[in-house]
């Protein structure tokens, strides 16, 4: 149907189609040469033609009808493509060469891995209890053994081994304020992320045992911007400095708290060190991949810096961040590079958060490379994958939708549709576009997807046996308890033995 409509269009559309075909073919040829895509999986010229025509249709005068019809037809198709075995090329995918030649155009294997880690970061939002009237505000709604199952992420082949809690000694913005109720589970700490490890099947597919760490970001970036425009604090012993607020959240602890007698830094490093030692003693190859969105991306970089100091040099460490701000100065960047940490920053052109701090004085001023005394200059780290809201026919591109531009689901949608900086949004993108509107209003009205639709049914209230609407009690397994307390010896090693043998 789409082909018939397109062939009857004007010569302008045909010219546009031919240009897109050439660009698409160039992308595929480059990808095939880069990581040797099997011939059986290379698209033929008919596929190129159909995809190019659909891209033209998305920008035709009858866009509303075509877009809705095309979206409805995709509703009966799977949301995921089969994942390829990357065991022979995982080091390239993991950034051993700083992702050269596989970012633009974006290799499909790398795209799937970026989406996987992005979903790990998204889980920290989807499972977080935001309700200020909840006794458990600031905690995770599910225990670690249920997390991926509840969020539909079991398919990724990882198991959560540890939850991470954080606090801060700085004045906190609203997103870290405590619950309004008196009997809250904790008045000082928040669930900020988790550690997970690949299972046997996923380990075989990706070629190594992968330890993944996911850090949660902010609810609304405008709530913390002013709070984190502060001084740079020293880290390490060579002159590296990082933003004061980020470091405070990563390292703060207090003996008067239950969940932060040890800092987020102590908790995560204890778990990473334990897992690396456990699998290396079994003779396995191990990697550490750290991810996060917004503030979570900043914490991921601090975590990678510390991990590089404390784990053996032969363990590859990569960071995949989304919409992350700058974290430290030039020396911090240089130290990360010297220690072999590989960083891939996924950014959206319309999102302003990744430009902060250092909106004016930053790495763009080449003169700062020689003036090392300017230790206060903020600098980005690593390779960049830059996305544009305007490339997707599904997204509203105008206005100042700051929360929508910064939303992690917007990022994942754009990654799923990205081929290269010179080609349109890909039509074979699988990820459900409805996810974009989870916490914002970014989808075009033609798709008829409600804004901010992701919430508990009836906002968490249930009707009891007497017909009264009440807040339900949590499942005992999902209540934060001493099993999550970092001071209590956890059962990670026993749990991993069970995982390995299963």
Collapsing DSSP states into helix, strand and coil, what is residue 401?
coil
Model confidence at 266, pLDDT cuts 50, 70, 90, reads very high
User: What is the sign of the dihedral through the CA atoms of 7, 12, 14 and 19?
Assistant: negative
Q: What six digits make up the tokens of 401?
A: 């939708």
Asked if residues 72 and 1 have their Cβ atoms less than 8 Å apart, the reply is no
Asked if residues 412 and 121 have their Cβ atoms less than 8 Å apart, the reply is no
Q: Helices 244-251 and 264-281 sit at what angle, rounded to 10 degrees?
A: 60
- Mean per-residue pLDDT over the chain, rounded: 80
pLDDT at 210: 98
Distance CA 146, CA 160 (A): 9
Model confidence at 171, pLDDT cuts 50, 70, 90, reads low
Give the closest residue to 419 by CA, choosing from 67, 30, 17: 30
Q: Of 77-86, 197-206, 454-463, where does mean pLDDT reach its minimum?
A: 77-86
347 forms beta bridges with 386
Distance CA 364, CA 1 (A): 49
Residue 97: partners with Cβ closer than 8 Å, 6 or more residues away = none
State the SS3 of 420-463. CCCCCCCCCCCCCHHHHHCCCCCECHHHCCCCCCCCCHHHHCEE
Strand 383-387 to strand 342-348: parallel, antiparallel, or no bridges (unpaired)? Answer: parallel
pLDDT tens for 42-57 read 444 344 434 443 443 4
Which residues are part of the catalytic machinery? 294, 351, 406
Domains of the chain: 78-387+456-495 (3.40.50.1820)
| Mean pLDDT, range 143-153, rounded to an integer | 95
pLDDT at 90: 96
Model confidence at 358, pLDDT cuts 50, 70, 90, reads low
Collapsing DSSP states into helix, strand and coil, what is residue 232?
strand
Give the Cβ contact number of residue 312 at 10 Å.
9
Distance CA 144, CA 166 (A): 17
pLDDT at 406: 93
198 forms beta bridges with 158
Distance CA 385, CA 374 (A): 28
Distances (CA, A) of 429 to 46, 204, 330, 436: 18, 26, 37, 14
Q: What six digits make up the tokens of 420?
A: 């290269």
Q: At which residue do the structure tokens 């080449």 appear?
A: 366
Distance CA 346, CA 322 (A): 5
Query: Phi and psi for 443 in degrees, rounded to 5?
Result: -80, 145
Q: Does 386 have pLDDT greater than 50?
A: yes
Model confidence at 283, pLDDT cuts 50, 70, 90, reads very high
Distance CA 429, CA 112 (A): 11
Question: Does this model's pTM top 0.85?
Answer: no
Distance CA 389, CA 368 (A): 31
């Amino acid at each position: 149907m789409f082909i018939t409509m397109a062939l009857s269009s004007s010569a302008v559309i045909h010219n546009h189609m031919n240009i897109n075909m050439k660009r698409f073919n160039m992308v595929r040829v480059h990808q095939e040469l880069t990581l040797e895509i099997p011939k059986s999986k290379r698209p033929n010229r008919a596929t190129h033609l159909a995809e190019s025509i659909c891209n033209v249709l998305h920008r035709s005068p009858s866009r509303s009808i075509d877009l809705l019809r095309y979206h409805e037809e995709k509703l009966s198709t799977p949301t995921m493509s089969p994942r390829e075995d990357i065991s022979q090329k995982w080091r390239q995918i993991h950034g051993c060469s700083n992702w050269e030649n596989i970012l633009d155009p974006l290799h499909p294997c790398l795209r799937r891995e970026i989406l996987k880690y992005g979903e790990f970061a998204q889980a920290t939002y989807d499972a977080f209890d935001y309700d200020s009237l909840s006794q458990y505000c600031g905690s995770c709604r599910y225990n670690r053994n249920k997390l991926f199952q509840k969020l539909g992420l079991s398919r990724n082949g990882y198991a959560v081994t540890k939850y991470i809690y954080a606090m801060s000694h700085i004045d906190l913005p609203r997103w870290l304020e405590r619950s309004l109720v008196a009997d809250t589970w904790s008045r000082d700490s928040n669930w900020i992320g988790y550690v997970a490890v690949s299972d046997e099947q996923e380990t075989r597919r990706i070629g190594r045992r992968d330890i993944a760490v996911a850090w949660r970001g902010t609810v609304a970036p405008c709530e913390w911007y002013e709070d984190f425009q502060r001084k740079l604090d020293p880290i390490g012993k060579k002159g590296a400095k990082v933003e004061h607020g980020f470091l405070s959240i990563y390292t703060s602890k207090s003996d008067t708290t239950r969940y932060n007698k040890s800092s987020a830094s102590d908790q995560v490093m204890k778990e990473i060190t334990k897992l690396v030692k456990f699998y290396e003693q079994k003779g396995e190859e191990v990697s550490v991949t750290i991810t996060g969105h917004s503030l979570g991306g900043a914490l991921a970089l601090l975590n990678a810096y510390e991990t590089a100091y404390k784990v053996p040099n032969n363990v590859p460490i990569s960071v995949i961040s989304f919409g992350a701000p700058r974290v430290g100065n030039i020396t911090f960047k240089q130290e990360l590079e010297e220690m072999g940490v590989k960083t891939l920053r996924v950014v959206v052109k319309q999102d302003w958060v990744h430009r902060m701090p250092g909106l004016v004085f930053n790495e763009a001023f080449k003169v700062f490379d020689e003036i090392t005394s300017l230790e206060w200059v903020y600098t980005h780290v690593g390779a960049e994958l830059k996305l544009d809201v305007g490339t997707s026919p599904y997204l509203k591109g105008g206005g100042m939708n700051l929360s929508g531009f910064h939303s992690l689901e917007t990022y994942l949608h754009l990654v799923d549709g990205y081929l290269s900086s010179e080609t349109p949004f890909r039509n074979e993108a699988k990820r459900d576009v409805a996810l974009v509107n989870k916490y914002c209003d970014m989808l075009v009205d033609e798709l008829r997807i409600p804004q901010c639709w992701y919430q508990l049914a009836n906002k968490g209230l249930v009707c009891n046996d007497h017909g009264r609407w009440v807040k339900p009690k949590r499942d005992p397994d999902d209540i934060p308890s001493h099993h999550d307390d970092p001071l209590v010896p956890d059962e990670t090693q026993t749990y991993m033995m069970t995982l390995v043998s299963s």
